[in-house]
């Protein structure tokens, strides 16, 4: 049981980075960006290909980050310069990335067993695998939260936040909303690629299919975080994303333990997210109902 | 200051929905001119302001602000020269951001934005001072999300944002139309005060003839995509609503007669 929890926490920490990426597009820019499904694999593919060629795992993660930035850039250009709707732009990049990721890896999957990974340094100190993932995860998540907290407080960061809120007003203040949208998409996908690189090293393989459903998992974590851990200021929001991602993994571990088939997981997640997104609608149905009940009393 | 030279704007050209929203419009504003712009629904007032602001490109003609040809400049680049307040209070501010954050965005209008902190303590003091002049108590609610403010408060804030960095030209598009009469009057008085104090060149659209007569030093009326009346100086000072109605009937009636003449 403890092992299951440790596993859920370590996986949750890595997926927290995906969650933060999804949050940047979905909540800050108000765009549902499906590029994520491709950029997470891209991060994994780049890191795995680099590591089996003997590249230092941290440098491999940095290259993954750059790959993710580029993926976000492509979606951003499709959306802003070519005026393709954001959802479709993301899908186009995602599909293109499938082929590109196969090219990067040269095959459908790469094993990283017995390779020197980002976790090796801690494992060599005698920490078990989950422990090492948790430590590295905390370091990465901590740095990312710190940097993002600073960045979204800067002039450029404020401009990006305002863009998702009211692009019309942002342009009236002399800000090029194309630039802010592209920047947001780049940062988001860069982070997701870093997560992909870390996840691949943690599970000891990169697979071209591993991104399927990642956007939904990211959304589920964002929503769980917001519902359970509040959204007072930006810092607590970022922390709530991490807690949301970990909670999601714990929930999944529990339902698996209770006997749900692993094959049904994606269905389970999709239904959960659909219900969570529909909550405001349910509430608006419930309100008049409650009122009429009160009246009847 | 502002020169509009024969601008034409056609929406949905070459379709059954083709609409000539602006037809060969020309006029110039002098530095410090405060123009009230009236006209019926669909006469092209908003389109004119949007073309000046670069929201839509024009099909023909040129727009010059202070001798800078801005005709082909995109919206966000023109913004350096312009302050804008919109009809819908939601349009002018970012609802999920604080009052001070909105002001800070406006304070940097036309400047390059970098990795400096988005708002400084010195600025905060400045914002507090100018918010006091609104007498709405907003100076004590700097970090309150703008989405929680009333429509009137939001319009007053948008007005401050539009003038925080002195614009070369202020564009007000029925910015009091969505407010209740009392609040509308307050916001209008505030606008007038700021415009007078800063001597801002202003184009203000309004539906209210009385307001159009009371404010500004020049009144223009649009009809079917054209400026059909342009009254200034002494004549503007003596203008009454009755005069305006008569003159509007005259101008539009003439138009009407012309159309008839063309048809027959
Ligand atoms: N984006 C658009 N696409 C197509 N047609 C438009 C567009 N914007 C305005 N129009 C049309 O252009 C004409 C002028 O509209 P405009 O909004 O400038 O009028 P207005 O004088 O501001 O009217 P109101 O007093 O109702 O605000 C109208 O017939 C309108 O339907
Ligand atoms: Mg209008």
What is the average pLDDT score of chain A? 94
pLDDT tens digits for range B62-82: 999 998 999 999 999 999 999
- The pLDDT of residue A279 is above 90: no
pLDDT digits (tens, 9 = 90+) for B138-172: 999 999 999 999 999 999 999 999 999 999 999 99
Residue of B21, B41, B205 with the most ligand 1 atoms within 8 Å of its CB, for mutation: B21
Measured in Å, residue B172 CA sits from the centre of ligand 1 at 16
Q: What is the pLDDT of residue B248?
A: 79
The atom number, within ligand 1, closest to the CA of B42 reads: 19
Between B258 and B148, where is the model more confident? B148
How far is C-alpha A150 from the geometric centre of its chain's CA atoms?
Answer: 19
Q: B227 with B195: CB under 8 angstroms? A: no
Q: Which of the listed residues B44, B204, B223 should we mutate to test ligand 1's pocket, taking the one with most ligand atoms within 8 A of CB?
A: B44
Indicate whether A31 pLDDT > 60: yes
Question: Which of the four pLDDT bands, split at 50, 70 and 90, describes residue A2?
Answer: confident
What average pLDDT does chain B have?
91
How many CA atoms lie within 13 Å of A186's alpha carbon, on the beta-carbon side?
Answer: 14
Structure tokens at B19: 């609409």
pLDDT in the model for residue A282: 83
Does A166 contact B111 at a Cβ distance shorter than 8 Å? no
pLDDT score for B15: 94
Mean pLDDT in residue range B224-248:
88
Residues on chain B touching A169 (C-beta within 8 angstroms): 91-94
List the residue whose alpha carbon is closest to atom 12 of ligand 1: B21
Q: What is the DSSP letter of A24?
A: I
| pLDDT band at residue A230 under the 50/70/90 scheme | confident
Taking an 8 Å cut-off on Cβ atoms, the answer to whether A158 and B105 are in contact is yes
Residues A67 and A46: beta-carbon distance below 8 Å = yes
The per-residue pLDDT for B262 is 36
Per-residue pLDDT at B259: 42
Buried b / exposed e over A15-48, threshold 16 CB at 10 Å, is bbbbbbbbbbbbbbbbbebbbbbbbbbbbbbbbb
- The whole-number pLDDT of residue B254 equals 56
The minimal CB distance from A176 to the residues B76, B91, B93 is found for: B76
Digit-coded pLDDT (tens) for A153-172: 999 999 999 999 999 999 99
Partner-chain contact A158 B118, CB within 8 Å: yes
The percent of residues in chain B predicted with pLDDT above 70, rounded, is 95
Each residue's pLDDT tens digit, A90-148: 999 999 999 999 999 999 999 999 999 999 999 999 999 999 999 999 999 999 999 99
Neighbours of A101 (CB within 10 A): 28
A168 close to B (CB below 8 A): yes
Using a 6 Å cutoff on CB, does residue B19 contact ligand 1? Answer: yes
- C-alpha–C-alpha distance, residues B183 and A152, integer Å: 35
Q: Please check the confidence at residue A286 and state whether its pLDDT lies above 90.
A: no
Check whether A239 has a pLDDT greater than 70: yes
| Cβ <8 Å between A174 and B79 | yes
A20-40: average pLDDT:
97
Rounded to whole angstroms, the Cα distance separating B149 from B134 reads 14
State what percent of residues in chain A have pLDDT above 70.
Answer: 99
Which residues of B fall below an 8 Å CB-CB distance to A? 53, 74-77, 79-80, 82, 84, 86, 90-97, 101-102, 104-106, 108-111, 113-119, 161
Q: What is the rounded distance in angstroms from the CA atom of residue A42 to the CA atom of residue A48?
A: 10
Answer whether A155 sits within 8 Å of B93, measured CB to CB: no
């Amino acid at each position: 049981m403890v092992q299951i929890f440790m596993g859920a926490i370590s996986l949750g920490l890595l997926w927290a980075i995906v969650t933060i990426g999804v949050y940047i597009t979905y909540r800050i820019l108000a765009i549902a960006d499906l590029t994520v499904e491709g950029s997470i694999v891209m991060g994994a593919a780049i890191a795995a290909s680099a590591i089996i060629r003997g590249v230092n795992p941290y440098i491999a993660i940095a290259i993954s980050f750059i790959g993710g930035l580029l993926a976000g850039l492509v979606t951003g250009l499709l959306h802003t310069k070519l005026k393709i709707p954001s959802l479709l732009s993301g899908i186009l990049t995602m599909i293109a990335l499938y082929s590109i990721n196969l090219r990067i890896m040269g095959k459908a999957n790469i094993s990283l067993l017995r390779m020197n990974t980002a976790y090796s340094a801690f494992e060599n100190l005698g920490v078990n695998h989950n422990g090492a993932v948790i430590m590295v995860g905390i370091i990465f998540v901590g740095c990312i939260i710190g940097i993002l907290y600073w960045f979204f407080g800067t002039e450029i960061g404020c401009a990006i936040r305002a863009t998702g809120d009211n692009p019309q007003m942002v342009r009236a203040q002399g800000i090029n909303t194309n630039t802010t949208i592209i920047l947001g998409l780049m940062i988001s996908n860069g982070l997701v690629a870093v997560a992909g690189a870390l996840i691949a090293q943690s599970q000891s393989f990169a697979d071209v299919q591993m991104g399927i459903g990642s956007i939904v998992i990211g959304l589920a974590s964002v929503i769980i975080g917001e519902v359970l851990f509040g959204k007072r200021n930006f810092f607590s929001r970022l922390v709530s994303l991490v807690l949301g991602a970990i909670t999601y993994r714990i929930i999944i571990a529990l339902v698996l333990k209770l006997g749900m088939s692993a094959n049904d997981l994606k269905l389970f997640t999709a239904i959960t997210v659909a219900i969570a997104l529909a909550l405001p609608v349910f509430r608006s149905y419930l309100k008049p109902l409650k009122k009429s009940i009160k009246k009847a009393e | 200051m502002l020169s509009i030279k024969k601008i034409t704007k056609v929406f949905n050209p070459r379709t059954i929905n083709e609409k000539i929203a602006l037809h060969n419009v020309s006029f110039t504003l002098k530095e410090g001119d405060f123009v009230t712009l009236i006209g019926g629904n669909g006469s092209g007032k908003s389109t004119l302001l949007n073309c000046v602001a670069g929201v839509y490109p024009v099909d023909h003609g040129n727009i010059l602000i202070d001798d800078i040809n801005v005709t082909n400049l995109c919206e966000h680049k023109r913004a350096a020269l312009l302050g804008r307040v919109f009809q819908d209070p939601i349009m002018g501010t970012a609802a999920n951001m604080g009052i001070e954050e909105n002001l800070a965005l406006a304070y940097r209008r036309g400047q390059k934005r970098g990795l400096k902190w988005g708002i400084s303590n010195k600025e905060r003091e400045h914002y507090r001072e100018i918010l006091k002049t609104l007498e709405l108590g907003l100076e004590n609610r700097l970090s309150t999300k703008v989405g929680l403010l009333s429509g009137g408060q939001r319009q007053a804030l948008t007005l401050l944002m539009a003038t925080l960095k002195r614009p070369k030209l202020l564009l007000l598009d029925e910015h009091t139309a969505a407010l209740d009469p009392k609040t509308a009057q307050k916001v209008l008085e505030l606008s007038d005060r700021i415009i007078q104090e800063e001597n801002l060149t202003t184009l203000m659209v309004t539906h209210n003839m009385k307001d159009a007569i009371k404010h500004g030093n020049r009144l223009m009326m649009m009809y079917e995509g054209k400026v059909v009346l342009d009254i200034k100086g002494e004549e503007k000072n003596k203008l009454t609503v009755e005069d305006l109605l008569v003159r509007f009937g005259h101008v539009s009636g003439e138009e009407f007669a012309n159309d008839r003449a063309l048809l027959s």
